[in-house]
Each structure stands twice: as C-alpha cells, then as structure tokens.
Amino acid sequence: MDQSFMKEKKILPLVLSMSLPMVISMAVNSMYNIVDSFFVAKLSENAMTSLALVYPVQNIITSIGVGIGIGINSTVAYYLGAEDKKMANKATTQGVVMNFIHGLLLTILCTAFMPAFLKMFTNNQNIIDMSLEYANIVFMFSVASTVGITLEKIFQAVGQMKVSMFSMICGFATNIILDPLMIFGIGPFPKMGISGAAYATGIGQVISLLVYIIVYFARPIPVKIESKSLKPDFKLLKRLYGIGIPATLNMALPSFLISALNGILAEFSDKYVLVLGVYYKLQTFIYLSANGIIQGIRPLVGYNYGAGEHKRVEKIYHTTLKLTVLIMALGMALSWIIPSQLIGLFTTNPETIKIGVTALHIISFGFIISAVSVTSSGALEGLGMGNPSLMISLLRYVIVIIPTAFVLSRFMGATGVWMAFAVAEFVTGIISYFIYQKYAKKTIE
C-alpha cells in the first residue's frame, strides 16, 4: 500500500479521513465503558466503587501498552516517510516483542501488588473482595491487551485506520454482548457477577488481537514482523523508549491523579470516590472525538516530518487544534444540558447524582482550553519528542492539579477538588502552547 497520500492530500480532508475511523473506535470504546459500568452498577454501588478503585491499575497496564505503541507508531511512520523499510520492519518487530514482555511482567506485578494498593483507599472488606475478584481476572489478559495495542499502532502507522477501527469494534462489541450474559447468567452462562464483567473485558481484548493477526496474514501491510529483525538494535530501542516511556507516563499519570484524588475525597465520603470514578468513565466519552483525532494525526505528523514536509506538520497542528476546540465546546455543552442523565447512567442514588452533577458542571469549565494541551502533546509525540509532551502531562495531572486540589479541599471540601480540574486545564493550556512553539519549531525549522 502506498503511503504517499500522507504528504500529498489536502490537510483538512487528510486529518478527517485518518481521524474519523479512530473517532468511531473511541465512540464504541466509550459506549463499552458506559455499558460495562451500567451493568456493574446494577449489582450495587459497592461494585461500581470496586471498578473505580481497580481502574487506576488497569489503566497503567493500558498506558504501558499504548505508550510503547505510540513510540512504535511514531518511529514506523517516520522511517516510512524517510523510505527506510528495513528500519521500519525492525521497529515493528522489536516493538511487538517488547510489549509482549511488558504484558507478562505486568500480569505478575499488578496481581501481587493489588491487595496492598486497595487497602490504601478503603477498609470496606466487601469492596476489597470484589475489587480483587475483578482485578485478578482482568490482569490475566494483560498480554493480549499489550500486544493487541501494539498491532493497533502499527496498522495506524501505515495509514490503515479502518482495520484498526474494525478490530477495536469487534473487541468492544464482544465485550458489550458478553457483559449482561456473564454478569447476570443469561442463556448458557452461569451468573458470575463482577467476575463476568472481568471475563467479558478479557475476551473482548483477545478477539481484537485475533482480528489484527488474521488481517496481517490475509492482507499484508508495508511493514513486517520478521525473525531477522529480532536482534536488539539498541539505537532503535532507545528511540522507541525515548518516545514510549514519556507517552506511557502521559497515559499513566491520570491513574496516579485518580489515586491521589481518591485519597483526598475519601476523607469526605465514599460517594465522592464513586463520583470521581463515574467522571472518568464519562471523560472517555466526552474526550473521545478529540482523542480520536490525536490518534489520527500522530502518524501524519511522523510521516511528514520524516519526509521533510515541515510546513505540512504545522498546518496539521493548527487544523487539529481548531477541530479539538469545537469538540470540547460540545462536551462542555452536554455537561450542562444533560448532566443528571449522564451521571444517572451509573447510579440511581439521588444524593450521588446531585454530587455528580455539581462535579461535572465545575470540571467542564476547563474542557475548551484543554484542547490546546491535548493537541500539543499529541503533535509532539508524532514528532518523536516525548519529553516535552511529558512536561505538558506532568503539569496537567500532577504539578498543578494535585496541590490545588489539596489546598482548595481544605477550604471548600470536595468542591475544591472539582475546582482544581478547571484551574489545572487553564494553567496547562497556556503553558503547553508555548512548549509546543518552542520545541516543535526547533525540530522542524
């Protein structure tokens, strides 16, 4: 397949054509998250709280897979743009191997660490037991998750977004179908409760992986996984990890943030912990189109940078920024028009819904300005500049928000935590624009 369209097609149609399949994928993913949580919420509020507590560790596994995948994506796209197929194949092969190893290590470490982690946030033994029941099953599928993510990023790097979309939809659809069957024991399935939700998640990841493998052999792509490329190339691995480790931290920082905020909110009530978990489920839905566009532009930025098309890189950035601003404005509007309906998807408790509506109203003030941070971080990753991208995420998820949340919560209670989200987005949005201008222009001039 010829990738020259990445440097020849007009910018707006190009960005839309690469991003739309990913937006659809993210939409299905967000629907899966909402449906999955909807069914678990039918079990009890404790079950939902259990998912909220497991989510940060589950997200770390995904973050490592996606982070290294972004390093592979950027590197493969760069070498294809530079017309160096040999190095593109090496990046593909060694990336798959490394994420396979990461999946194995994560299965062992996360399973061992989970009991101690949970006791940091709750003394409710029922919540701890349900959390462990869910986590121990989900973690068994870590290899399928990390390798599947790697193949997703490889297919995206060569411009085959529709294959990536199809694979993700197959996995999510499997998950959505199996959720009620396995949770509630419908048809041939026994009633498994929260374990059913975990098995449905894992099986969905396996299905997604199988689709990539079948397509890889049935319809060859421009890069290959080959035995002759297995010998470690340390210069290449340095590039992969140089992009991948900051990208992993970018993805993992929300988990750190959630854990820190859970510690602050737990002082007030478990209901606030639940609301924070619900918000992060909704956030996937609210940010889905913006994140889909960012996934679409990473290979475009990398390919055009490798091909020496530096003016197109700048045009791609500014076009993407305009699109993400529009999308986040819509997200803010929904947060004010139908907040109770959104929160009500996960709980029927009137007090919890009231807390959730207040949280969503306040947090949404930072949505529009967050488009600058999201776009700048994604474009820098596409350029292979992981460290400046990480600087933006550290500002957004640690340096500004956590101290702000702690201080404001002393004066305003849980409301201060919600206020900290908006403050962090405004501060980070302004700084991230200047970070992009400084580092990106230095690279592409």
The three state secondary structure string of the chain is: CCCCHHHHCCHHHHHHHHHHHHHHHHHHHHHHHHHHHHHHHCCCHHHHHHHHHHHHHHHHHHHHHHHHHHHHHHHHHHHHHCCCHHHHHHHHHHHHHHHHHHHHHHHHHHHHHHHHHHHCCCCCHHHHHHHHHHHHHHHHHHHHHHHHHHHHHHHHHCCCHHHHHHHHHHHHHHHHHHHHHHHHCCCCCCCCCHHHHHHHHHHHHHHHHHHHHHHHHHCCCCCCCCHHHCCCCHHHHHHHHHHHHHHHHHHHHHHHHHHHHHHHHCCCCHHHHHHHHHHHHHHHHHCHHHHHHHHHHHHHHHHHHHCCCHHHHHHHHHHHHHHHHHHHHHHHHHHHHCHHHHHCCCCCCHHHHHHHHHHHHHHHHHHHHHHHHHHHHHHHHHCCCHHHHHHHHHHHHHHCHHHHHHHHHHHHCHHHHHHHHHHHHHHHHHHHHHHHHHHHHHHHC
| Structural domain includes residue 187 | yes
Average pLDDT over residues 56-81: 86
pLDDT of 36 over the 80 cut = no
Both tokens of 439, joined, read 């580092």
Residue 209 confidence (pLDDT) above 70: yes
Let me know if residue 393 belongs to a domain: yes
At residue 391, the pLDDT reads 92
Q: What is the pLDDT of residues 218-233, one digit of tens each?
A: 988 889 999 888 888 8
Cβ neighbours, 10 Å, residue 247: 30
pLDDT band at 210 (very low <50, low <70, confident <90, very high): very high
What total number of domains does the chain contain? 1
Span 238-276, pLDDT tens digits:
888 888 888 888 777 877 888 899 889 988 887 888 888
Does residue 420 lie in a domain region?
yes
Tell me, yes or no, whether 191 lies in a domain. yes
Domain limits for position 143: 9-444
Please report which confidence band the pLDDT of residue 34 belongs to, taking 50, 70 and 90 as the band edges. Answer: low
- As a whole number, mean pLDDT of residues 356-374 equals 93
**Which residue has better confidence, 99 or 20?**
99
Q: What pLDDT does 251 receive?
A: 75
Q: Is residue 409 part of a domain?
A: yes
pLDDT of residue 19: 83
Give the per-residue pLDDT at 30: 61
pLDDT for 445 equals 56
Could you give the CA distance from residue 381 to residue 248 in angstroms, rounded to a whole number? 11
Residues above pLDDT 90, as percent of the chain: 40
Q: What is the pTM of this model?
A: 0.74
What would the mean pLDDT of 169-186 be, rounded to a whole number? Answer: 90
> Is the pLDDT assigned to residue 213 strictly greater than 80?
yes
Whether pLDDT at 283 is above 90: no
When pLDDT is averaged across residues 363-390 and rounded to a whole number, the result is 90
pLDDT of residue 174: 92
Sorted by sequence, the CB contacts under 8 Å of residue 50 that are 6+ apart come out as 127, 130, 131, 134, 194
Report yes or no on 364 lying in a domain. yes
Higher pLDDT, 5 or 174: 174
User: Model confidence at 325, in pLDDT bands (50, 70, 90)?
Assistant: very high
* Res. 99: pLDDT tops 60: yes
pLDDT higher than 60, residue 350? yes
Q: Is the pLDDT of residue 126 over 70?
A: yes
The mean pLDDT of 306-313, rounded to a whole number, is: 84
Q: Please say if the pLDDT value at position 140 is more than 70.
A: yes
**Range with the poorest average pLDDT among 86-95, 180-189, 264-273:** 264-273
Cβ partners under 8 Å of residue 8, min gap 6: none
Q: What percent of the chain has pLDDT over 70?
A: 96
**Residue 31: predicted pLDDT:** 66
Does residue 3 fall inside a structural domain?
no
pLDDT of residue 365: 94
Predicted pLDDT at 107? 95
Quick one: pLDDT band at residue 427, thresholds 50, 70, 90? Answer: very high
- What does the pLDDT read at residue 33? 61
Average pLDDT over the chain, rounded to an integer: 87
Give the mean pLDDT of 309-337: 91
pLDDT band at 162 (very low <50, low <70, confident <90, very high): confident
In contact, 171 and 204? CB cutoff 8 Å: yes
Helix (H) or strand (E) holding 66: helix 45-81
Q: Is residue 2 part of a domain?
A: no
- Checking if the pLDDT of 399 tops 90, the result is yes
445's CB contacts (< 8 A; 6+ apart) are 310
pLDDT given for residue 82 in this prediction = 83
In this predicted structure, the answer to whether residue 28 has a pLDDT above a threshold of 80 is no
What's the mean pLDDT in 377-395? 88
**C-alpha dist (Å) from residue 221 to 85, 92, 94, 295:** 12, 11, 17, 19
Instruction: Determine the Cα–Cα distance for residues 131 and 52; give it in Å rounded to an integer.
Output: 9
Tokens (6 digits) for 242: 């140089």
